Amino acid sequence: MAVAMMVDNPEGSQEVYDAVREKLGLERPAGGILHVAGPSPNGGWRVIEVWESEEDAKGFVKERLLPAFEAVGAPFPPPPQFWPVHNHMA
């Protein structure tokens, strides 16, 4: 079942986001369906993604995303929030 994942990072910024994306060096990870990112209305940076499964999303966070944050010297974002997706447009 597809899941949505949101990370609302109060310490995030476009500069951190761009550095992490460059370090990841990929367009679409396995299991990834949709990715959007931008400034959070509460300050910081927000990322919302849709994944084929929660396992795919959690694997990407653990194996790729957190190491990329560490490599660029950025503080880790808060844990993501997940919810089931009934429908999506991509």
- For residue 52, the number of C-alpha atoms closer than 13 Å in the C-beta half-sphere is 8
Looking at residue 40, what is its pLDDT? 96
Looking at residue 25, what is its pLDDT? 86
Looking at residue 17, what is its pLDDT? 96
- Does pLDDT of 83 surpass 90? yes
Looking at residue 28, what is its pLDDT? 85
- Percentage of the chain with pLDDT > 90? 89
Q: Compute the average pLDDT of residues 16-38.
A: 92
Looking at residue 88, what is its pLDDT? 84
Looking at residue 86, what is its pLDDT? 94
The residues, any chain, with a CB within 8 Å of residue 72's CB and separated by 6 or more, are: 16, 19, 20, 23
pTM of the model: 0.91
